[in-house]
Amino acid sequence: EIHHWYTKFMRECPSGQLCLHEFKHVLDLHGLTPEANSYVEQVFHTFDMNKDGFIDFLEFIAAINLVIRGKIDQKLKWYFKLYDADGNGCIDKKELLSIF
């Protein structure tokens, strides 16, 4: 199964590193509202665990594994990290409003 994902990833991203623009292209996300675009960017940055501006295959497979097989506590931690936009460890009123 991992070989399947690797083949797909490398077909879509031969450089082995997926940038934000390519991430949107792979997911066919064009013409987004500013709010939706902001959310997609936050998802991308959450998947970019080493914060180098790219999603490599290991980050990609970790994200897929979390979504498909992750336990509820792992998923909740990921969602918390996603919505903690400023990364301060708290979800403040502004971040909470963006969820709604």
Instruction: State the total domains in the chain.
Output: 2
The mean per-residue pLDDT over the stretch 63-84 comes to 83
Residues 52 and 93 in one domain: no
Please state, in angstroms and rounded to a whole number, the distance separating the CA atoms of residues 84 and 80. Answer: 6
Task: Note the pLDDT of residue 76.
Answer: 86
Give the residue from 95, 46, 75 showing the smallest Cα distance to 20: 46
pLDDT at 17 over 80: yes
Task: Note the pLDDT of residue 50.
Answer: 92
Please state, in angstroms and rounded to a whole number, the distance separating the CA atoms of residues 85 and 40. Answer: 12
**Confidence label for 79 from pLDDT (cuts 50, 70 and 90):** confident
Residues 1 and 27 in one domain: yes
List the domain range (segments joined by +) for residue 1.
1-69
Q: What is the CATH number of the domain that holds 28?
A: 1.10.238.10
Residues 19 and 44 in one domain: yes
**Confidence label for 56 from pLDDT (cuts 50, 70 and 90):** very high
Token output for 43: 């998802």
The mean per-residue pLDDT over the stretch 79-83 comes to 82
Residues 9 and 30 in one domain: yes
**Contact predicate 84/95, CB 8 Å:** yes
The mean per-residue pLDDT over the stretch 64-78 comes to 83
Which amino acid appears at position 91 of this protein?
I
